[in-house]
Amino acid sequence: MESDILRIENFYAGFGNSTILKNINFSVVENKITSIMGPSGCGKTTLIRCINRLHEFSPGATFSGKILLRGEDIYSINPISVRRKIGMVFQRPNPFPNMSIYDNVISGYILNGIHLSREEKERVVTTSLKKAGLWEEVKDSLHRRGTFLSGGQQQRLCIARALAMNPDILLLDEPTSSLDPKSTLLIEQLMEELKQTITTLIVTHNISQAARISDYVAFLYLGELIEFGPSNKIFTNPENKKTEEYLTGKFG
């Protein structure tokens, strides 16, 4: 039985007098992959930054409406707690350059002043790197800096860092856009494996990627949600002409 983990209701967001997101409404199904698609500038990144409570820290940021995590409005929760439950991985791999691979993985605990015993640290590092499919590649180099890794490995390290906090939801903002095809495939396989325990929202420009990995798709255009539904329906029989035009490359 599918159940919703996140619900977005009548949500607006922007900067100053400029509205980027306009009356967004949809629900995210637990332990599924939902792709957020649409042309550049349609509000995809703004949307996931709102879900992670990063948007409000930008100068002039505005927002209204509700985002409910398991029925609780995230804007009534401490933002640090929200980010423990909703992890985020950005477009470009960004391991902390002065930290080892080991410390990168547990950096969420270090930065939040959460004390872990040595055994707990070892367990979190090992488990998170295994979940991110990186353990075998780095187990003998844990105390080297994360920046010595390849781009694809760095991105999986960033995923391990997000997974270390045991989030309910993982937000991925174009996570493979700067990676080669082999690294992209590894991350797509990883997302499939993570579905057992985690809900993923991925922003992607790549229509074929969304078709390969998504269970659900949200299509945004000019800040509005044009269509939302199961990916097989959206890709084979979209209801809205705009969705069809985007999927067939009429604009992008």
What pLDDT does residue 178 have? Answer: 84
**What local confidence, expressed as pLDDT, does residue 12 receive?**
97
Whole-model pTM? 0.93
User: What average pLDDT does the chain have?
Assistant: 94
Distance, in Å, from the CA atom of 228 to the CA atom of 214, rounded to the nearest integer, reads: 12
Vertex 94, ends 58 and 213: CA angle to 5°?
A: 90
Answer with the residue of higher pLDDT: 2 or 148.
Answer: 148
pLDDT given for residue 205 in this prediction:
86
Residue given tokens 């707690």 in the structure block: 81
Alpha carbon distance 56, 14 (integer Å): 10
Question: In the CATH hierarchy, which top-level class contains the domain 4-247?
Answer: alpha beta
Residues 6+ apart with CB under 8 A from 150: 183
Each residue's pLDDT tens digit, 86-99: 999 998 889 999 99
Residue at 14: amino acid letter = G
Taking CA 14 as the corner, what is the angle to CA 91 and CA 73, rounded to the nearest 5 degrees? Answer: 85
pLDDT at position 252: 65
Task: With beta carbons less than 8 A apart as the criterion, state whether 167 and 160 touch.
Answer: no
